[in-house]
């Protein structure tokens, strides 16, 4: 859950100043991704689905995020 605050620069030293955003984390449990691979839009039908993560930025659909959240939710 993101707070109502815009991203802001954060100096990590040596001239490295990435953007940050304050976040309220929800309680959750770790969940394996393997059971979800054929249900997620970014991985379904792809043998090497994780290759696209090597580039550092991947848009995940709202539907995929909801499915991931559902499996991580504490019950």
Q: Is 64 a domain residue?
A: yes
Three-class secondary structure of residue 54 per DSSP: helix
Q: Is 3 a domain residue?
A: no
Q: Is 2 a domain residue?
A: no
Q: What is the pLDDT of residue 39?
A: 95
Q: Is 47 a domain residue?
A: yes
pLDDT tens digit string along 20-74?
988 888 899 999 999 999 999 989 888 898 888 888 778 889 999 999 999 999 8
31 in Cβ contact with 72 (< 8 Å): yes
User: How many structural domains compose the chain?
Assistant: 1
Confidence of residue 4 (pLDDT cuts 50, 70, 90): low
Domain that holds residue 29: 8-72
Confidence of residue 10 (pLDDT cuts 50, 70, 90): very high
- The residue ranking higher by pLDDT, 40 or 3, is 40
């Amino acid at each position: 859950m993101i707070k109502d605050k815009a991203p802001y620069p954060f100096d990590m030293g040596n001239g490295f100043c990435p953007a940050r955003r304050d976040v309220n984390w929800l309680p959750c449990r770790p969940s394996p991704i393997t059971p979800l691979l054929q249900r997620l839009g970014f991985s379904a039908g792809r043998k090497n689905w994780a290759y696209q993560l090597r580039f550092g930025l991947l848009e995940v659909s709202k539907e995929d995020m909801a499915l991931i959240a559902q499996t991580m939710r504490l019950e």
